[in-house]
Amino acid sequence: MGRLRAAAFVPSFSRRGGCEAAGVVVRPPRTTPPAARAPFLEKEGKNTPRRVAALFTACLLAGCAVGPDYVRPTTDVPAQWRIDYEKAADVANTKWWSAFGDPALNQLIEEALRENRDVRIAAARVDEFIGQLTTTRSQFYPQIGYSLDASRNRASRVGQPPLAPGADPYYTLYQGALSAQWQIDLFGRVRRQSEAAQAQVYASEQGRRGVVLSLVTSVATSYVVLRALDRQLEIARATADNYAGTKQIFDLRYKGGVVSQVEVAQVESQYQQALAAIPQLEQQIAAQENLISVLLGRNPGPIPRGKTIDALAAPGIPGDLPSTLLERRPDILQAEQTLAAANANIGAARSLYFPTISLTGVLGSISTAFGDFLTGPATAWTAAAGLAGPVFTFGAIEGQVQTAEAFEREALATYQQVIVNAFRETNDALVGAIKTRDAAEAQARRVAALREYARLSRLKFDNGYAGYLEVLYAENELFGAELTAVRAQADRYTQIVNVYKAFGGGWVEEADKLAPRPQLVEAGAPAQPPGGPASR
């Protein structure tokens, strides 16, 4: 006879529904955690057919599940985005932040992924749901336990039956037992609960990926803003120094009677305006450094700098279709897994209408003499089978079913809303990336024009062809335009970062390699569905 090899029995999690004798698997899928595996022993010989029949019967009993099977809802996906943009190489699956060409930014992101507290919280949450999944799946198998007890007792002399005259009422009782209890999942309650728990594991893992996505984009955006503030502070200080030199010249001219006090007051106003901008920018820089420090998981402090904002390179825009968002965005995948869990909970609630079958066995030893304990005469055993089911619950089960169905409708609406918001955010980011680029280029041309205007105005003033009021106006306009141009450049980079955040993509997995992993995932428990979400 051949050899029967079976790693473990796990009921099939096929989504076709019904009592699936043909859908039962003997070898566990790779999503089964080690704690849920109860290996069979390899046997040979004439008892093999009987064991095969017993295994098939057990699989058949566990393969039936009431309630609806999950099917991914149809979604209205736009054929294209609202704006045409340059087709770029597929950089959505790489570490796009390295395209800025700033080693300091790369180092900050790597440190944030290792030390950020939100990522650690999300990883622990995945472990929490994996633990719940292991607990739920344990109900597929018999629960085996033991008990040991030794007691000193006194019997009543007038009890029932009465104690014989002269008998010693005091005695010691020794008891020990091995017990096993198994509730057969005939109507799929445990199976549906396991499906729901598994979907929650997948949802929590997508939530963790969403935290990684937000962390990387937040660090990149915050760093761009910090470098923009640094550049604005440089402009403000240089402008203040320039105005200070002009003020000294005008003070000397005033003392020599060349200019009036009105022109001196105009120069003083310019100088104080530039000075007032410096502490405001310094305060914003300190606040930005504190924000980045928190993202890095450390106390507020200075942040190392790399390239200036003018030296940063703009990453390309990934050329993806709208339908890819359904496969990439962690929030969409998380919402879908929550919907799958809610769908499975409907079956778990409906299974309460049906009876439960339980098998119980106890093998032990009871003796009043320790020398007779664990001997043949002291042996005691019990074997029982039970059937229990509801008759009148006065709406208790119906209420649970209604609650589960309402939560499923809520999860469906949430899933659809998340998709709509994802398309909106991506369209906004794509439009913003194009329009902020155009705005930054226009602002740069305006700065160049105002710089020439200020140069010519001062030249006219020095040659006596114009009053200082024209110079004042030109230089004030240039100062404001330079600050605005830096903000426009930062907005352009921020919108590019938003594009990557909106698309999601394989770069999250690249970043995830640096982030803390759930401990139970490292031990072999499932954190992602094989081949994608459970709905595929």
DSSP-derived secondary structure for 52-86 = HHHHHHHHHHHT---SPPP-PPP----SS-SS---
Structure tokens belonging to residue 385: 């089978």
Which strands form 143-154's sheet, in the order they lie side by side? 143-154, 170-184, 356-367, 379-388
Output the pLDDT for position 80. 67
Tell me, what's the pLDDT at 320? 65
Name residue, tokens 């320039």.
242
- 442-479 burial, b for 16+ CB within 10 Å, e for fewer? ebeebbeebeebbeebbeebeeeebebebbbebbbbbb
Measured distance CA(226)–CA(292) in Å, rounded: 9
**211 and 334 Cβ atoms separated by less than 8 Å:** no
Question: Torsions phi, psi of 148, nearest 5?
Answer: -135, 135
**Exposure of 340 in the CB half-sphere (CA atoms within 13 A):** 27
User: Residue-wise pLDDT tens for the chain (536 aa)?
Assistant: 333 333 333 333 333 344 433 333 323 333 333 333 333 233 344 455 555 445 444 544 445 678 888 888 887 777 666 665 555 445 556 788 988 999 999 999 999 999 999 999 998 999 999 999 999 999 899 999 999 999 999 888 888 888 888 888 888 989 999 999 998 888 888 999 999 999 999 999 999 999 999 999 999 999 999 999 999 999 999 999 988 888 888 888 788 887 788 888 888 888 898 899 999 999 999 999 999 999 999 999 999 999 999 999 988 877 666 677 777 889 999 999 999 999 999 999 999 999 988 999 998 888 888 877 777 788 888 999 999 999 998 999 999 999 999 999 999 999 999 999 988 888 898 889 889 999 999 999 999 999 999 999 889 888 888 778 888 888 889 999 999 999 999 999 999 999 888 888 777 777 777 777 777 655 555 556 644 444 44
Measured at the CA of 118, the angle between CA 116 and CA 119, to 5 degrees, comes to 70
Q: What is the pLDDT of residue 374?
A: 77
Report all structural domains of the chain as residue ranges with CATH numbers, in order of start. 96-157+167-522 (1.20.1600.10)
pLDDT, residue 77, reads 73
- Write out the two tokens for 67: 């309630």
Strands (DSSP E) found in 98-250: 143-154, 170-184
Query: What's the pLDDT score for residue 315?
Result: 85
Question: What per-residue confidence (pLDDT) applies to 9?
Answer: 30
Q: What is the DSSP letter of 43?
A: B
Q: How far apart are CA 337 and CA 167, in angstroms?
A: 69
Q: Is the bond into 78 cis (omega within 30 degrees of 0)?
A: no
Residue 530: its pLDDT value, please? 46
Supply the pLDDT for residue 61. 47
Burial code (b: 16+ CB inside 10 Å, e: under 16) for 368-389 equals eeeeebeeeebeeeeeeeeeee
